[in-house]
Amino acid sequence: MEERDLERQFKNINPKPSAKWQENALKHLNNVVTDSLDNRNSNTNLNNFFYSITMNTKFKAILTIATVFTTFAIASGVVYASDSAMPGEMLFPVDKAMEQIRRTITVNPLDRAGYEMDVMDERVLELKKMSEGEDSLGLSKAISEVEAQQSRVRAMLGEMTQLRAGDMNQAQEQLEVMNKLAAKIQNNEEVLGEVQNRLELKSGEATQAGELQRVRDSFSEDMESEIKNFEESTGLKVEAKETEQNQGEEPQNQNQAEIKAGDENGEGEPAQDVQGVQEMNKGDNGNR
Amino acid sequence: MSINQLNSRQDLEDLFKWLNEPLYKYVYIRCGYNRELAEDITQDIFVKAWEKRSTFNPSKSTLKNWIYVIARNHLIDTYRKKKISVKSFDEDIYVKDLNISVEDEAVVSDILKNLDRLKEKEKEVIVLRYVQDLEIEDIAKILGKSKNTTKVMIHRAIKKLKYIMNK
């Protein structure tokens, strides 16, 4: 048998699913879509449920408040300490757990997108700190954490695209988030670039420098494409700027406080790092 | 029909109507000619596509290639979990499912029996190229390989099949 005959016979193979399956599968997919949309609202329903229970009687209200205060008093110390924990440290999972809770209670997709961008800042700053030390394993973990957070930002942008497809009125509200995204990308790119330079200069960190390069390139490319898609689909122009409200907000945690301190120095860098970075840049210029 | 977005209920329905038969065909041949299993897996592929829709980037891939990647990964997962007991083609049982003319039955049975003697990767490229009738460029993207490598893989696989059949 010749190849041509084989090709012809392959084209004749045409198994088909049953019509009944096609009908049932379509129904099933419809249910899957409905469930996924319901789940998005379930957090709000859960909040309403607890609200109705606790507001039923004064006793339940007092008990709830007392429990919350007691728990808060115990947990706040741990939570506060965990906020500055680095990847690989014991309290880092607590920090991540607190972020997960915040995600769960942040129902509005735009608020959530803003929050994911703030967490991205935190991950980038953690990576920067790790790059200053000698913990190679922790450094790899910090790079992975940055990449994982970038995926969350990507997912939120996907959700925003979907919302926009259903309601173009969303575009104007989303513009604010996109502006914030563009500003954050610029800031983070600068910090990540400095981290990469530092890793390239350090002996034994070439692998991590390569890995970071890959993570940066992939994210930059995706974000450029997201911003371009947004501009093309809405006709709005994205500009790298944070909202006035966000600029006036207190930093969310110690790491963000550090960014703010750096910004006040006009460098976008923490004050104590300015000299080190300048030295590093000098060395870097000589190497390129 | 050809769509390139997956944002709404309607998109998913259109995607299903467009690709359920080709994907079923792909899964059916790769999962041991088991009709019910192929239907279950095909349905799962569309559910997975919906769940992962936020990862689809139209500037990087077509929706069709993207869902074939999901199908391929899902089949690999199912194999790994040993939900599929790989069977060889049995003309007495399966030939009626193939919708082929009576005069071609014997030849097609022979081809499928010999196809099962190839390695899984060889079988996969033959199915994608000749049964699914996909372009080499699309197959390369689905497999995550270069166009040239894919071309060579297909050429070697079909040559091997021809050799086995003519032996």
Of the candidates B89, B130, B13, the one whose C-alpha atom is nearest the C-alpha of residue A3 is B130
> How close B81 comes to chain A (CA, Å)?
23
HSE-up of residue A131 (Cα within 13 Å, Cβ side): 29
Angstrom distance (rounded) from CA A178 to CA A240: 8
> How close A31 comes to chain B (CA, Å)?
10
* Helices (H) then strands (E): counts for chain A: 11, 0
Amino acid letter, B9: R
Task: Say if B123 falls within a structural domain.
Answer: no
- The residue-averaged pLDDT of B129-143 equals 93
Collect all residues of chain B within an 8 Å Cβ-Cβ radius of residue A14: 25, 98-100
Highest mean pLDDT among A239-248, B83-92, B104-113, B144-153: B144-153
Contact residues for A243 (Cβ-Cβ < 8 A; gap 6+) = A176, A179, A180
Question: Do A26 and B39 meet the contact criterion of CB atoms below 8 Å apart?
Answer: no
Task: Say if B15 falls within a structural domain.
Answer: yes
Task: Say if B120 falls within a structural domain.
Answer: no
Q: Write down the pLDDT at residue A265.
A: 42
Facing A15 at nearest CB: one of B43, B47, B97 = B97
Q: Write down the pLDDT at residue A279.
A: 45
ipTM: 0.87
Angstrom distance (rounded) from CA B156 to CA B56: 32
Contact residues for B108 (Cβ-Cβ < 8 A; gap 6+) = A9, A12, A13, B95, B98, B100
> How close A285 comes to chain B (CA, Å)?
35
Angstrom distance (rounded) from CA A255 to CA A271: 13
Q: How many domains does chain B have?
A: 1
Question: Do A232 and B59 meet the contact criterion of CB atoms below 8 Å apart?
Answer: no
For B41, the domain range is 1-87
> How close A145 comes to chain B (CA, Å)?
18
Task: Say if B53 falls within a structural domain.
Answer: yes
Of the candidates A164, A187, A169, A170, the one whose C-alpha atom is nearest the C-alpha of residue A242 is A187
Q: Do B55 and A17 touch (CB under 8 A)?
A: no
Collect all residues of chain A within an 8 Å Cβ-Cβ radius of residue B89: none
Q: Write down the pLDDT at residue A55.
A: 56
Task: Say if B119 falls within a structural domain.
Answer: no
Collect all residues of chain B within an 8 Å Cβ-Cβ radius of residue A3: 158-159, 162
SS3 A248: helix
Domain segments of chain A: what residues?
86-287
Facing B99 at nearest CB: one of A15, A25, A162 = A15
Task: Say if B5 falls within a structural domain.
Answer: yes
Residue A264, pLDDT > 50, answer no
Collect all residues of chain A within an 8 Å Cβ-Cβ radius of residue B131: 10-11, 13
Amino acid letter, B89: F
What percent of chain A shows pLDDT beyond 90?
Answer: 15
Of the candidates A236, A242, A239, the one whose C-alpha atom is nearest the C-alpha of residue A169 is A236
pLDDT in tens, B90-111: 666 666 777 777 777 888 888 8
Q: Give the pLDDT band of residue B10 (cuts 50, 70, 90).
A: very high
Task: Say if B117 falls within a structural domain.
Answer: no
Angle at B126 between CA B110 and CA B108, to 5 degrees: 20
How close are the terminal C-alpha atoms of chain B, in Å?
42
Q: Write down the pLDDT at residue A245.
A: 43
Amino acid letter, B66: W
Say which DSSP state A85 is in. P
The total of other beta-carbon atoms located within 10 Å of residue B58's CB is: 14
More confident residue, B120 or B79: B120
Q: Which residue of B has its CA nearest to A218?
A: B60
A vs B, Cβ pairs < 8 A, gives 116
SS3 A14: coil
Q: At B45, which CATH number?
A: 1.10.1740.10
């840049």: which residue's tokens?
Answer: A281
Residue A287, pLDDT > 70, answer no
pLDDT in tens, A113-125: 999 999 999 999 9
Q: Three-state SS across chain B? A: CCCCCCCCHHHHHHHHHHHHHHHHHHHHHHCCCCHHHHHHHHHHHHHHHHHCHHHCCCCCCCHHHHHHHHHHHHHHHHHHCCCCCCCCCCHHHHHHHHCCCHHHHHHHHHHHHHHCCCCHHHHHHHHHHHHCCCCHHHHHHHHCCCHHHHHHHHHHHHHHHHHHHHC
Mean pLDDT of chain A: 76
Question: Do B133 and A8 meet the contact criterion of CB atoms below 8 Å apart?
Answer: no
Q: Give the pLDDT band of residue B21 (cuts 50, 70, 90).
A: very high
Q: Give the pLDDT band of residue B33 (cuts 50, 70, 90).
A: confident
Cα–Cα distances (Å) from B18 to A10, A109, B23, B36, B42, in that order, read 21, 31, 10, 20, 13
Angstrom distance (rounded) from CA B68 to CA B49: 10
